[in-house]
Chains A and B, each alone.
Chain A
């Protein structure tokens, strides 16, 4: 067995030997990946490019910047972008720090082993529990006749709606989005915290570092790229989410994905090309975020091998 894998490694490192080239004669180099490229080209890249090009076209097909400029000049559209960015940003930041705190607590807090495995299992479930059912759960909890709303009113004489709580406010939505943002952070950051080797702590201690110095000069720099990368992933995650918010308020809520949804369904903006521009704007924002994400990710992976 060892012999086999050894010879295999030596083959793998050499450039392809000529005998091998004659052994695979019929299929071209691209044989196996062709379905993948055809599929992604037809159903991922081309539809997206179609919208991007459409964003810069007039109804007759000529080039124009009017659609994209209208994203900024039309107050209802620019406002919806602003609300979406605010919700995504704060739910990502709060979710990231809360998730990090939970991850550190279960990995480094000296809690019993079952806490860690139970939390990770639950996080895997909750990070995928989004959309309409999540909204239903929160309506049953904090809606106008929700269990917690009623309990707070009857027992503590505290009417949260009188205090200004509402799912349709920025913070109302953030509280709900945290239900999938925090677990997603936990799922991604726990392996990164596991990647902190015990030896680093010992090495730092041997060199005379205090615990605080170890955190400041080893832990934070090592975790920072994957932390920041995950924040960006959380941002994109919240930015594209539509079903949860739609369940609370239907088409009235003014966030970008719902605006686009109404536009696709019924051209509410009375300009089909403007729909393309809104889609283009969404791609630009999540795209920028993800460029950073990939960059941070590759930087952090070097440490976690």
Chain B
């Protein structure tokens, strides 16, 4: 038993070294912009760059729209499957897994060919359309995570009883979903939302191929042309990812624990 504990510490130590050395080194590197002393110059340069502000804002807005679109697509479907159509659950679960099978670059390639400017649905003929297509693409990428989060949330509430109670009180479908179901799965939806945010914010492939002024292509551009700023950006990106994951963890403490497991 004692040797088991020893080896556990060894494994943990090696793992810690592999994961923390690059992070510490990146941080140290990001402080070296001014010759001879440690300074936050690289961060100042990055945060003061108007292109940083513009592209970051663009990606934040895209992420928010992605989350809204994802909720609109996923919540009614997950709810309806629990309530009325449990038999099609395997089909829907299979579809939600597809974005893990089909690489993002393939999906966006399909968009470019299907929704080009001389197609029946010419998303790519205008800037707004292309941005909409980017949001749609992001919602597709986030689909597996969003669906799982919402479905887990729905599992902890009694969908059928809540729906029937609301109907007895005279609620219509939109009222039921917006005022009964959504508040009950809000924490699950928010977890999915923060994960979506973390995935979308620095996404490169789709934004670059759709030629959008997003944060990912900006990162690529800085990475190819600068020395210290990329390290600062890596630390900022890590902090954003960390923030999203922490929020998910904090939220999970508020999630209802009393699962009644209807299935």
Residues of A within 8 A of B (CB): 4-5, 8-9, 11-12, 23-24, 27, 29-33, 35-37, 39-40, 43-48, 50-51, 54, 98, 101-102, 104-106, 108-111, 115, 119, 121-122, 124-126, 128-129, 131-142, 145-148, 178-179, 182-183, 233, 236-237, 239-240, 242-243, 246-247, 250, 257, 260-261, 264-265, 275, 279, 282-283, 286-287, 290, 294
Contact = CB atoms under 8 A, between A and B. Distances in A.
Nearest to B112: A264
A124 B9 contact: no
23 contacts: A5-B158, A5-B260, A8-B158, A8-B160, A12-B262, A29-B84, A30-B85, A35-B73, A36-B95, A43-B137, A45-B98, A106-B8, A126-B19, A139-B223, A140-B26, A140-B230, A145-B227, A147-B25, A147-B28, A148-B21, A240-B104, A283-B102, A286-B101
A21 to B, nearest CB: 11
Contacts of B85: 29-30, 32-33
B5 A111 contact: yes
A110 B5 contact: yes
A243 B21 contact: no
A240 B73 contact: no
Nearest to B229: A136
Which of A37, A44, A134, A265 has its CB near the most chain B CB atoms (within 10 A)? A44
A48 B107 contact: yes
B101 A261 contact: no
Nearest to B223: A247
A12 B262 CA distance: 8
B110 A48 contact: yes
Contacts of B209: 261, 264-265
B40 interface: no
Interface string B91-129: 010110111111111110111111000000000000000
A246 B100 contact: no
Given A40-B143, A132-B216, A141-B26, A250 B237 contact: no
Contact of A8 (B26, B72, B161): B161
A179 B11 CA distance: 15
Which of B104, B109, B136 has its CB near the most chain A CB atoms (within 10 A)? B109
Interface residues of B, number: 90
B5 A140 contact: no
Contacts of A106: 8, 12
A132 B12 contact: no
B15 A98 contact: yes
A36 B73 contact: yes
Nearest to A242: B205
Interface string B204-230: 110001000000100110011001001
Nearest to A30: B85
